[in-house]
Amino acid sequence: METDPDIAEPEIAHRLLHRRGNPALRLAETLCELMGDGLQRASYLTFMEKAMMTDQPNGLSIKRGVQRNQSGVNRRIDLRSIVLTTPLLEFLVHRHIRRTATESAPLSLQGFIKLLRDRYGLYIA
């Protein structure tokens, strides 16, 4: 295999074929190694933006550009923030009310904020 001219990375091909363990995991690790750090990071950021529906009307996050001064050099970077939009808050309220529909109890703002913290890990200042 090391002498085959058609194989660009013979050591990776050898690891893929001759290591023990889960073959799907071996394939995933090999593909990530061949992708390189830059492409992995870009793919991860793209996934996170799509999963959180960044800058979408019902999304969970927004992206904004800021300018930072590092060592006398101005750099423009994108920051992302979690945003609880009106549709998301309505969904969470209806989900809680539906879950406790057998009981007749009002939902106060403080109670809802405590519910968000306890059940979903969302801390609101």
pLDDT at residue number 100: 61
DSSP assignments along 9-51, one per residue:
-HHHHHHHHH--S-HHHHHHHHHHHHH-HHHHHHHHHHHHHHH
pLDDT at 3: 65
The candidate with the shortest Cα–Cα distance to 49, out of 59, 57, 58, 40, is 59
**Same domain for 54 and 75:** yes
Shared-domain flag, residues 106 and 78: no
Q: What is the per-residue pLDDT for 22?
A: 87
Quick check: is 111 in a domain?
Answer: yes
Instruction: For 31-43, write each residue's pLDDT tens digit.
Output: 888 888 888 889 8
- Confidence (pLDDT) at 12: 80
Same-domain status, 78 and 98? no
72: containing domain:
40-82
Q: Is the dihedral of CA 116, 56, 43, 51 positive or negative?
A: positive
Residue 1 lies in a domain: no
Answer yes or no: do 90 and 77 share one domain: no
- Domain membership flag for residue 46: yes
Do residues 77 and 51 both lie within one domain? yes
pLDDT tens-place string over residues 90-99: 888 888 887 6
pTM > 0.75: yes or no: no
Shared-domain flag, residues 115 and 91: yes
Domain count, the chain: 2
